[in-house]
Amino acid sequence: MTTITIADRAGSFAENKDVARDIRVHGILPGLADGNSVTLNFQGVEATTQSFIHALLSDVLRKHGSLVLDRISFQSCNDTVKKLIEIVVGYMQESGATDGDGDSLAGSEA
């Protein structure tokens, strides 16, 4: 299992999309490629932006489909962070992300 502590890289206000990209490219995607689960620990993150969460997750969902969420856990999220994750995941599902086999998830339940 790969554990990534977001505050260590992004601080208490996670807003920098370049940092989110680096976490995705160098942490999340390699962890998933090895067949592992990935834990994103948001302890110490007081606030974030929707664009940060989008940069962190959207490409992962595009490449692996929403079934990848079974292998990603979100830890120590406050209500604001939880809501933004839900918004981004919901948006990606509505915008035509696939289930990993190329089948659209639009209209399916999360």
Tell me the whole-structure pTM to 2 decimals.
0.85
The pLDDT assigned to 35 comes to 85
The pLDDT assigned to 109 comes to 34
- Asked whether residue 83 is domain-assigned, the answer is yes
Q: What angle do CA 100, 101, 103 make, to 5 degrees?
A: 100
Structural domain range at position 30: 2-94
- Asked whether residue 107 is domain-assigned, the answer is no
- Asked whether residue 102 is domain-assigned, the answer is no
- Asked whether residue 106 is domain-assigned, the answer is no
- Asked whether residue 74 is domain-assigned, the answer is yes
- Asked whether residue 37 is domain-assigned, the answer is yes
Query: What confidence tens digit (pLDDT) does each residue in 25-61 have?
Result: 999 999 998 789 999 999 999 999 999 999 999 999 9
Pair 105, 66: CB distance under 8 Å: yes
The pLDDT assigned to 96 comes to 61
Pair 73, 40: CB distance under 8 Å: yes
Query: What confidence tens digit (pLDDT) does each residue in 67-110 have?
Result: 999 999 999 999 999 999 999 999 988 876 555 444 444 333 33
- Asked whether residue 84 is domain-assigned, the answer is yes
Type of residue found at 95: S
The H-or-E segment that residue 93 falls in is helix 79-94
pLDDT of residue 19 exceeding 50: yes
Q: How many domains does the chain have?
A: 1
